[in-house]
A and B are shown apart, each in its own frame.
Chain A
Amino acid sequence: MHKAQAMLADGVLALFIAAFLSYSLFAAWPQSTHPTKNLALERAGYDVVNAFYKDDIHQIIRRGLEVKGYLSADEIKFLQIKLYNYGRLLNLKRIDVEIPASTSFSVEIEKSTPTQKEQFSLLIPLKGGEENRIVKVSLWK
Protein backbone atom coordinates (compact mmCIF):
# COMPACT_ATOMS: atom_id res chain seq x y z
CA MET A 1 0.00 0.00 0.00
CA HIS A 2 2.76 2.44 1.07
CA LYS A 3 4.78 1.53 -1.96
CA ALA A 4 1.81 2.25 -4.21
CA GLN A 5 1.26 5.62 -2.49
CA ALA A 6 4.93 6.52 -2.91
CA MET A 7 4.83 5.56 -6.57
CA LEU A 8 1.70 7.64 -7.07
CA ALA A 9 3.33 10.61 -5.35
CA ASP A 10 6.41 10.10 -7.52
CA GLY A 11 4.21 10.20 -10.57
CA VAL A 12 2.45 13.37 -9.45
CA LEU A 13 5.76 15.01 -8.63
CA ALA A 14 7.17 14.01 -12.01
CA LEU A 15 4.14 15.60 -13.66
CA PHE A 16 4.64 18.83 -11.72
CA ILE A 17 8.33 18.93 -12.55
CA ALA A 18 7.55 18.29 -16.22
CA ALA A 19 4.93 21.07 -16.20
CA PHE A 20 7.33 23.43 -14.43
CA LEU A 21 10.21 22.71 -16.82
CA SER A 22 7.94 23.04 -19.85
CA TYR A 23 6.68 26.37 -18.58
CA SER A 24 10.18 27.66 -17.86
CA LEU A 25 11.48 26.56 -21.24
CA PHE A 26 8.58 27.32 -23.53
CA ALA A 27 6.43 29.99 -21.92
CA ALA A 28 8.93 32.67 -22.88
CA TRP A 29 9.88 30.90 -26.13
CA PRO A 30 8.73 33.51 -28.65
CA GLN A 31 10.53 36.19 -26.70
CA SER A 32 13.78 34.28 -26.48
CA THR A 33 14.33 34.09 -30.24
CA HIS A 34 16.57 37.08 -29.95
CA PRO A 35 19.59 37.41 -27.68
CA THR A 36 19.68 40.99 -26.42
CA LYS A 37 16.44 42.78 -27.34
CA ASN A 38 18.36 46.01 -27.07
CA LEU A 39 16.40 48.39 -29.23
CA ALA A 40 19.21 50.94 -29.30
CA LEU A 41 21.49 48.29 -30.81
CA GLU A 42 18.78 47.33 -33.27
CA ARG A 43 18.31 50.90 -34.44
CA ALA A 44 22.07 51.33 -34.60
CA GLY A 45 22.20 48.19 -36.77
CA TYR A 46 19.81 49.72 -39.27
CA ASP A 47 21.74 52.98 -39.28
CA VAL A 48 25.10 51.27 -39.77
CA VAL A 49 23.78 49.09 -42.61
CA ASN A 50 22.30 52.23 -44.17
CA ALA A 51 25.65 54.01 -43.76
CA PHE A 52 27.43 51.16 -45.54
CA TYR A 53 25.27 51.69 -48.62
CA LYS A 54 24.74 55.45 -48.50
CA ASP A 55 28.06 56.72 -47.22
CA ASP A 56 30.43 55.08 -49.72
CA ILE A 57 31.64 52.47 -47.24
CA HIS A 58 30.47 49.62 -49.45
CA GLN A 59 31.86 51.35 -52.55
CA ILE A 60 35.32 51.39 -50.97
CA ILE A 61 35.03 47.71 -50.02
CA ARG A 62 33.66 46.81 -53.48
CA ARG A 63 36.39 48.71 -55.35
CA GLY A 64 39.13 47.27 -53.17
CA LEU A 65 37.91 43.71 -53.60
CA GLU A 66 37.20 44.01 -57.32
CA VAL A 67 40.53 45.64 -58.19
CA LYS A 68 42.97 43.98 -55.80
CA GLY A 69 41.00 41.20 -54.16
CA TYR A 70 41.68 42.65 -50.73
CA LEU A 71 41.52 45.91 -48.80
CA SER A 72 44.69 47.93 -48.43
CA ALA A 73 45.83 49.37 -45.11
CA ASP A 74 44.81 52.85 -46.26
CA GLU A 75 41.33 51.67 -47.23
CA ILE A 76 40.89 49.95 -43.88
CA LYS A 77 42.10 53.07 -42.09
CA PHE A 78 39.56 55.17 -44.02
CA LEU A 79 36.75 52.73 -43.21
CA GLN A 80 37.77 52.69 -39.55
CA ILE A 81 37.54 56.50 -39.37
CA LYS A 82 34.09 56.46 -41.03
CA LEU A 83 32.82 53.72 -38.71
CA TYR A 84 34.36 55.39 -35.66
CA ASN A 85 32.27 58.48 -36.39
CA TYR A 86 29.12 56.38 -36.79
CA GLY A 87 29.96 54.45 -33.63
CA ARG A 88 30.31 57.67 -31.67
CA LEU A 89 27.09 59.01 -33.12
CA LEU A 90 25.19 55.85 -32.17
CA ASN A 91 26.81 55.44 -28.71
CA LEU A 92 28.48 52.15 -29.56
CA LYS A 93 31.55 50.78 -27.85
CA ARG A 94 33.00 48.72 -30.67
CA ILE A 95 32.29 47.72 -34.26
CA ASP A 96 33.68 44.54 -35.84
CA VAL A 97 33.57 44.02 -39.58
CA GLU A 98 34.06 40.58 -41.13
CA ILE A 99 34.56 40.42 -44.88
CA PRO A 100 34.88 36.90 -46.32
CA ALA A 101 38.21 36.24 -48.06
CA SER A 102 39.57 39.58 -46.89
CA THR A 103 40.92 41.31 -43.82
CA SER A 104 38.51 41.71 -40.93
CA PHE A 105 38.89 44.80 -38.82
CA SER A 106 37.52 46.39 -35.67
CA VAL A 107 36.94 49.90 -34.48
CA GLU A 108 37.11 50.69 -30.79
CA ILE A 109 35.03 53.70 -29.87
CA GLU A 110 35.07 53.41 -26.08
CA LYS A 111 37.67 51.77 -23.90
CA SER A 112 35.17 50.19 -21.48
CA THR A 113 34.25 46.52 -21.83
CA PRO A 114 31.22 45.99 -24.07
CA THR A 115 28.51 43.67 -22.78
CA GLN A 116 25.92 43.41 -25.53
CA LYS A 117 26.41 42.48 -29.14
CA GLU A 118 24.24 42.28 -32.22
CA GLN A 119 25.31 41.09 -35.63
CA PHE A 120 23.98 42.37 -38.95
CA SER A 121 24.67 40.99 -42.41
CA LEU A 122 24.80 42.92 -45.61
CA LEU A 123 25.42 42.01 -49.19
CA ILE A 124 28.06 43.55 -51.42
CA PRO A 125 27.81 42.40 -55.04
CA LEU A 126 31.11 42.36 -56.94
CA LYS A 127 31.48 42.55 -60.72
CA GLY A 128 27.78 43.14 -61.26
CA GLY A 129 26.77 40.29 -58.99
CA GLU A 130 29.11 37.60 -60.38
CA GLU A 131 30.47 37.32 -56.86
CA ASN A 132 28.60 38.36 -53.77
CA ARG A 133 30.22 38.99 -50.42
CA ILE A 134 28.18 38.73 -47.26
CA VAL A 135 29.73 41.21 -44.84
CA LYS A 136 29.02 40.73 -41.15
CA VAL A 137 29.00 43.77 -38.92
CA SER A 138 28.94 43.26 -35.15
CA LEU A 139 27.91 46.15 -32.98
CA TRP A 140 28.87 46.24 -29.31
CA LYS A 141 27.36 48.31 -26.55
Chain B
Amino acid sequence: MKKGFGGLLVLSVFLLGFILLLTSHTPRITYKGYSSILSAEVRSNRIAVARKVILESYKEVDERNLAEWAVSVERVCASYGLRVSIDFSKTPKKVNLTDIYTGMTSSFFLP
Protein backbone atom coordinates (compact mmCIF):
# COMPACT_ATOMS: atom_id res chain seq x y z
CA MET B 1 0.00 0.00 0.00
CA LYS B 2 2.83 2.38 0.94
CA LYS B 3 4.56 1.59 -2.35
CA GLY B 4 1.42 2.46 -4.26
CA PHE B 5 1.05 5.70 -2.36
CA GLY B 6 4.65 6.64 -3.08
CA GLY B 7 4.19 5.86 -6.76
CA LEU B 8 1.10 8.05 -6.97
CA LEU B 9 2.92 10.88 -5.22
CA VAL B 10 5.85 10.71 -7.63
CA LEU B 11 3.45 10.63 -10.59
CA SER B 12 1.56 13.63 -9.20
CA VAL B 13 4.80 15.58 -8.82
CA PHE B 14 5.76 14.77 -12.40
CA LEU B 15 2.37 15.84 -13.69
CA LEU B 16 2.51 19.05 -11.71
CA GLY B 17 5.99 19.73 -13.04
CA PHE B 18 4.81 19.09 -16.57
CA ILE B 19 1.91 21.51 -16.18
CA LEU B 20 4.22 24.15 -14.72
CA LEU B 21 6.60 23.62 -17.62
CA LEU B 22 3.81 24.11 -20.12
CA THR B 23 2.56 27.31 -18.50
CA SER B 24 5.93 28.84 -17.75
CA HIS B 25 7.49 31.64 -19.79
CA THR B 26 9.11 29.44 -22.37
CA PRO B 27 9.13 29.55 -26.18
CA ARG B 28 5.68 28.01 -25.97
CA ILE B 29 4.32 31.43 -25.03
CA THR B 30 5.84 32.81 -28.21
CA TYR B 31 4.45 29.89 -30.18
CA LYS B 32 1.00 30.41 -28.67
CA GLY B 33 1.19 34.11 -29.47
CA TYR B 34 2.19 33.37 -33.04
CA SER B 35 -0.50 30.74 -33.32
CA SER B 36 -3.14 33.23 -32.16
CA ILE B 37 -2.00 35.80 -34.71
CA LEU B 38 -2.12 33.14 -37.41
CA SER B 39 -5.63 32.12 -36.37
CA ALA B 40 -6.82 35.73 -36.39
CA GLU B 41 -5.31 36.15 -39.84
CA VAL B 42 -7.11 33.05 -41.09
CA ARG B 43 -10.43 34.15 -39.59
CA SER B 44 -9.96 37.59 -41.09
CA ASN B 45 -9.33 36.06 -44.51
CA ARG B 46 -12.52 33.99 -44.19
CA ILE B 47 -14.49 37.20 -43.56
CA ALA B 48 -12.90 38.76 -46.65
CA VAL B 49 -13.82 35.70 -48.76
CA ALA B 50 -17.41 35.68 -47.48
CA ARG B 51 -17.70 39.39 -48.16
CA LYS B 52 -16.45 38.85 -51.71
CA VAL B 53 -18.97 36.03 -52.27
CA ILE B 54 -21.86 38.15 -50.93
CA LEU B 55 -21.00 41.23 -52.98
CA GLU B 56 -20.34 39.36 -56.22
CA SER B 57 -23.34 37.03 -56.03
CA TYR B 58 -25.69 39.88 -55.06
CA LYS B 59 -25.06 41.53 -58.43
CA GLU B 60 -26.86 38.67 -60.17
CA VAL B 61 -29.91 38.43 -57.95
CA ASP B 62 -33.31 39.93 -58.78
CA GLU B 63 -35.08 41.83 -56.01
CA ARG B 64 -37.88 39.23 -55.93
CA ASN B 65 -35.40 36.43 -55.17
CA LEU B 66 -33.56 38.14 -52.34
CA ALA B 67 -35.06 35.91 -49.64
CA GLU B 68 -33.81 32.70 -51.34
CA TRP B 69 -30.44 34.31 -51.91
CA ALA B 70 -30.20 35.35 -48.25
CA VAL B 71 -30.82 31.74 -47.15
CA SER B 72 -28.00 30.53 -49.41
CA VAL B 73 -25.73 33.31 -48.13
CA GLU B 74 -26.38 32.12 -44.57
CA ARG B 75 -25.31 28.61 -45.56
CA VAL B 76 -22.13 29.85 -47.24
CA CYS B 77 -21.28 32.02 -44.24
CA ALA B 78 -21.91 29.12 -41.85
CA SER B 79 -19.33 27.07 -43.79
CA TYR B 80 -16.81 29.85 -42.99
CA GLY B 81 -17.79 29.94 -39.31
CA LEU B 82 -19.59 33.25 -39.76
CA ARG B 83 -23.00 34.57 -38.78
CA VAL B 84 -24.62 36.94 -41.23
CA SER B 85 -27.43 39.42 -40.85
CA ILE B 86 -28.74 41.42 -43.79
CA ASP B 87 -30.88 44.47 -43.21
CA PHE B 88 -33.07 44.75 -46.28
CA SER B 89 -35.13 47.57 -44.78
CA LYS B 90 -32.31 50.08 -45.08
CA THR B 91 -31.14 51.86 -48.20
CA PRO B 92 -28.53 50.83 -49.13
CA LYS B 93 -28.98 47.31 -47.75
CA LYS B 94 -26.59 46.63 -44.93
CA VAL B 95 -24.74 43.36 -44.25
CA ASN B 96 -23.13 42.45 -40.97
CA LEU B 97 -20.76 39.50 -40.68
CA THR B 98 -19.70 38.14 -37.29
CA ASP B 99 -17.07 35.51 -36.69
CA ILE B 100 -18.54 32.98 -34.28
CA TYR B 101 -15.08 32.05 -32.94
CA THR B 102 -13.40 35.41 -32.47
CA GLY B 103 -16.30 37.87 -32.45
CA MET B 104 -14.66 39.88 -35.26
CA THR B 105 -17.23 41.78 -37.28
CA SER B 106 -17.38 43.33 -40.70
CA SER B 107 -20.19 45.56 -41.95
CA PHE B 108 -20.74 46.77 -45.47
CA PHE B 109 -23.42 48.00 -47.83
CA LEU B 110 -24.70 46.10 -50.82
CA PRO B 111 -24.19 47.97 -54.10
Contacts and interface: CB of A to CB of B under 8 A. Distances in A.
A70 interface: no
Interface of B: 1-2, 4-5, 8-9, 11-12, 15-16, 18-19, 22-23, 32, 35-36, 38-39, 41-43, 45-46, 48-49, 52-54, 56-57, 60-62, 64-66, 68-69, 71-73, 75-76, 79-81, 101-102
A112 interface: no
Contacts of A119: 79
Nearest to B102: A30
Contact of A125 (B23, B38, B41, B60): B60
Nearest to A58: B56
B5 A9 contact: yes
Nearest to A132: B72
Chain B, interface SS category: helix
A80 B53 CA distance: 21
Given A6-B4, A20-B19, A49-B52, A43 B79 contact: no
A19 interface: yes
Contacts of B54: 123
A9 to B, nearest CB: 4
Nearest to A29: B101
B53 A122 contact: yes
- Chain A's interface size range is 35 or more
B49 A120 contact: yes
Given A6-B5, A31-B36, A43-B45, A128 B72 contact: no
A130 interface: yes
A26 interface: no
A33 B76 contact: no
Contacts of B73: 123
A102 to B, nearest CB: 16
Contacts of A78: none
B40 to A, nearest CB: 9
A122 B51 CA distance: 10
A16 B46 CA distance: 38
A34 interface: yes
A72 B61 CA distance: 25
B1 A42 contact: no
B8 A10 contact: yes
Contacts of A104: none
